[in-house]
Amino acid sequence: MAKATFAAGCFWGVEATFRQIPGVTATRVGYIGGNLKDPTYKDVCTDSTGHAEAVEVEYDPAKVSYGDLLNVFWENHDPSQLNRQGPDFGTQYRSAIFYHSPEQEQAARASKQALEESRQFSRPIVTQIVPAVTFYEAEDYHQQYLEKRGLATCHIK
């Protein structure tokens, strides 16, 4: 199994999207990229911890490639919105790829460049591509939040 970590706005919809992909074996939502150890949702919502709401994806590379996961990431949010997605705003809703290896970094940078060159978005792509650091799992009630409520998505796009 391999691991990928993505931030693309509110983690509820992002998690639900990745859970539908054949080859994804597990997901968990949480916080990454900030300066507060063991943050809570309440902490992250202050927009002062530096953490992003993110989804850690465990996947079987024999069934789904990291490139495929990158495509899902790009297709399911607006990477040209700085520190927001739809009505949610703040640095915790930023677009970011947290890579776990040099190969993931290279693939993420190449996919971002290809998206920029496609001119699909009229504004620049603001997605951060940064090393994965400690991932703090969110509170249990956030895990598979939409599934627990019988909802398919909360995505705006």
Hey, which residues are catalytic here?
A: 10
Instruction: 82-90: list long-range contacts, CB under 8 Å, 24+ apart.
Output: 82/126, 84/9, 85/8, 85/9, 85/10, 85/156, 86/9, 86/156, 86/157, 87/156, 88/9, 88/10, 90/45, 90/47
Tell me the two tokens of residue 92.
């915790």
